Amino acid sequence: MGVLAQSPSKYALTDLTLRSMIELERANAGLDYETDVLAHLSTALLESSGENTGTAAFTFVEPSLYEPYERIVRECGPAGQPKVQRIQAYIKSMSDDLSLVVGGDAAPVGKLIPACTRLHRELVQEINSEVAFDVNDWPSVYENASTRVRAS
Protein backbone atom coordinates (compact mmCIF):
# COMPACT_ATOMS: atom_id res chain seq x y z
CA MET A 1 0.00 0.00 0.00
CA GLY A 2 1.38 3.37 -0.97
CA VAL A 3 1.51 6.36 1.30
CA LEU A 4 -1.19 8.17 -0.67
CA ALA A 5 -3.37 5.15 -1.37
CA GLN A 6 -7.03 5.99 -1.11
CA SER A 7 -8.96 3.73 1.22
CA PRO A 8 -12.52 2.69 0.40
CA SER A 9 -15.43 4.58 1.89
CA LYS A 10 -17.56 2.90 4.52
CA TYR A 11 -20.37 2.74 1.96
CA ALA A 12 -18.18 0.87 -0.54
CA LEU A 13 -16.82 -1.37 2.21
CA THR A 14 -20.36 -2.17 3.40
CA ASP A 15 -21.38 -3.18 -0.12
CA LEU A 16 -18.20 -5.18 -0.63
CA THR A 17 -18.69 -6.98 2.69
CA LEU A 18 -22.23 -7.96 1.73
CA ARG A 19 -21.08 -9.24 -1.66
CA SER A 20 -18.30 -11.20 0.05
CA MET A 21 -20.79 -12.78 2.47
CA ILE A 22 -22.74 -14.08 -0.53
CA GLU A 23 -19.59 -15.49 -2.15
CA LEU A 24 -18.51 -17.10 1.13
CA GLU A 25 -21.93 -18.74 1.47
CA ARG A 26 -21.56 -20.06 -2.08
CA ALA A 27 -18.10 -21.42 -1.20
CA ASN A 28 -19.50 -22.98 1.96
CA ALA A 29 -22.18 -24.74 -0.09
CA GLY A 30 -19.58 -26.08 -2.53
CA LEU A 31 -20.73 -23.86 -5.40
CA ASP A 32 -18.57 -21.77 -7.70
CA TYR A 33 -17.76 -18.37 -6.23
CA GLU A 34 -16.13 -15.14 -7.36
CA THR A 35 -12.62 -14.98 -5.93
CA ASP A 36 -12.21 -11.40 -7.22
CA VAL A 37 -14.79 -10.14 -4.72
CA LEU A 38 -12.98 -11.79 -1.82
CA ALA A 39 -9.59 -10.55 -3.02
CA HIS A 40 -10.97 -7.03 -3.33
CA LEU A 41 -12.35 -7.16 0.23
CA SER A 42 -9.00 -8.42 1.51
CA THR A 43 -7.19 -5.48 -0.09
CA ALA A 44 -9.83 -2.96 0.99
CA LEU A 45 -9.63 -4.12 4.61
CA LEU A 46 -5.86 -3.66 4.69
CA GLU A 47 -6.16 -0.20 3.13
CA SER A 48 -8.85 0.92 5.55
CA SER A 49 -7.02 -0.35 8.62
CA GLY A 50 -3.89 1.63 7.84
CA GLU A 51 -1.77 -1.48 7.69
CA ASN A 52 1.72 -0.28 8.55
CA THR A 53 4.25 -0.76 5.77
CA GLY A 54 7.15 0.00 8.08
CA THR A 55 7.73 3.47 6.66
CA ALA A 56 5.24 5.37 8.80
CA ALA A 57 6.25 6.75 12.18
CA PHE A 58 2.79 6.03 13.58
CA THR A 59 -0.11 3.64 13.14
CA PHE A 60 -3.64 4.67 12.30
CA VAL A 61 -7.05 3.41 11.29
CA GLU A 62 -9.19 5.28 8.78
CA PRO A 63 -11.10 7.74 11.02
CA SER A 64 -14.55 6.99 9.57
CA LEU A 65 -14.02 3.27 10.22
CA TYR A 66 -12.41 3.40 13.66
CA GLU A 67 -15.64 3.01 15.66
CA PRO A 68 -17.03 0.00 13.74
CA TYR A 69 -13.67 -1.76 13.91
CA GLU A 70 -13.25 -0.85 17.57
CA ARG A 71 -16.66 -2.35 18.44
CA ILE A 72 -15.68 -5.59 16.73
CA VAL A 73 -12.34 -6.01 18.50
CA ARG A 74 -13.40 -4.65 21.87
CA GLU A 75 -13.34 -8.15 23.37
CA CYS A 76 -10.38 -9.41 21.32
CA GLY A 77 -6.72 -9.30 22.20
CA PRO A 78 -4.85 -8.52 25.38
CA ALA A 79 -6.22 -5.68 27.49
CA GLY A 80 -2.87 -3.86 27.56
CA GLN A 81 -2.52 -3.78 23.79
CA PRO A 82 -3.47 -0.44 22.15
CA LYS A 83 -6.80 -0.50 20.32
CA VAL A 84 -5.31 0.47 16.97
CA GLN A 85 -2.91 -2.47 17.12
CA ARG A 86 -5.78 -4.84 18.05
CA ILE A 87 -7.81 -3.51 15.12
CA GLN A 88 -4.92 -3.92 12.71
CA ALA A 89 -4.16 -7.45 13.94
CA TYR A 90 -7.82 -8.48 13.57
CA ILE A 91 -8.13 -6.96 10.09
CA LYS A 92 -4.80 -8.52 9.01
CA SER A 93 -6.00 -11.93 10.22
CA MET A 94 -9.31 -11.53 8.37
CA SER A 95 -7.49 -10.40 5.22
CA ASP A 96 -5.11 -13.38 5.43
CA ASP A 97 -8.07 -15.77 5.78
CA LEU A 98 -9.75 -14.18 2.76
CA SER A 99 -6.53 -14.65 0.79
CA LEU A 100 -6.50 -18.34 1.73
CA VAL A 101 -10.07 -18.75 0.44
CA VAL A 102 -9.11 -16.94 -2.77
CA GLY A 103 -6.29 -19.48 -3.11
CA GLY A 104 -8.76 -22.38 -2.86
CA ASP A 105 -8.50 -23.26 0.85
CA ALA A 106 -12.03 -23.67 2.21
CA ALA A 107 -10.99 -24.06 5.87
CA PRO A 108 -11.39 -20.38 6.90
CA VAL A 109 -14.85 -20.02 5.30
CA GLY A 110 -16.63 -21.13 8.49
CA LYS A 111 -15.15 -18.32 10.56
CA LEU A 112 -15.21 -15.69 7.79
CA ILE A 113 -18.98 -15.83 7.32
CA PRO A 114 -19.77 -14.64 10.87
CA ALA A 115 -16.83 -12.19 10.75
CA CYS A 116 -18.15 -10.59 7.56
CA THR A 117 -21.68 -10.58 8.95
CA ARG A 118 -20.52 -8.74 12.06
CA LEU A 119 -18.45 -6.28 10.04
CA HIS A 120 -21.39 -5.58 7.75
CA ARG A 121 -23.71 -5.05 10.73
CA GLU A 122 -21.27 -2.64 12.40
CA LEU A 123 -20.75 -0.66 9.19
CA VAL A 124 -24.50 -0.37 8.59
CA GLN A 125 -24.98 0.73 12.20
CA GLU A 126 -22.29 3.38 11.74
CA ILE A 127 -23.89 4.68 8.56
CA ASN A 128 -27.35 4.75 10.14
CA SER A 129 -26.08 6.62 13.19
CA GLU A 130 -24.98 9.47 10.93
CA VAL A 131 -28.28 9.83 9.12
CA ALA A 132 -30.20 12.91 10.14
CA PHE A 133 -33.92 12.44 10.31
CA ASP A 134 -36.02 15.39 9.19
CA VAL A 135 -39.36 15.67 10.87
CA ASN A 136 -41.70 17.85 8.90
CA ASP A 137 -44.37 19.76 10.74
CA TRP A 138 -47.11 19.31 8.19
CA PRO A 139 -50.58 20.50 9.11
CA SER A 140 -53.04 17.80 9.94
CA VAL A 141 -55.92 17.22 7.56
CA TYR A 142 -58.23 18.09 10.42
CA GLU A 143 -56.43 21.32 11.22
CA ASN A 144 -57.85 24.53 9.85
CA ALA A 145 -55.26 25.83 7.38
CA SER A 146 -56.55 29.38 7.70
CA THR A 147 -55.25 29.56 11.28
CA ARG A 148 -51.71 29.19 9.93
CA VAL A 149 -52.06 32.05 7.48
CA ARG A 150 -51.47 35.50 8.90
CA ALA A 151 -52.37 38.74 7.32
CA SER A 152 -49.41 40.91 6.60
Expressed as residue numbers, the domain containing 34 is 10-132
Tell whether 146 is covered by a domain.
no
Measured CA to CA, the distance from residue 124 to residue 32 in angstroms comes to 28
Tell whether 137 is covered by a domain.
no
Three-state secondary structure of 88-112 = HHHHHHHHHHHHHHHCCCCCCHHHH
Read off the pLDDT of residues 113-137 as tens digits, 9 standing for 90 and up.
Answer: 999 999 999 888 888 876 655 555 5
Q: What pTM did the predictor assign?
A: 0.74
Residue 2 clears pLDDT 50, i.e. is over it: no
Q: What is the pLDDT of residue 105?
A: 92
Number of domains in the chain: 1
Tell whether 1 is covered by a domain.
no
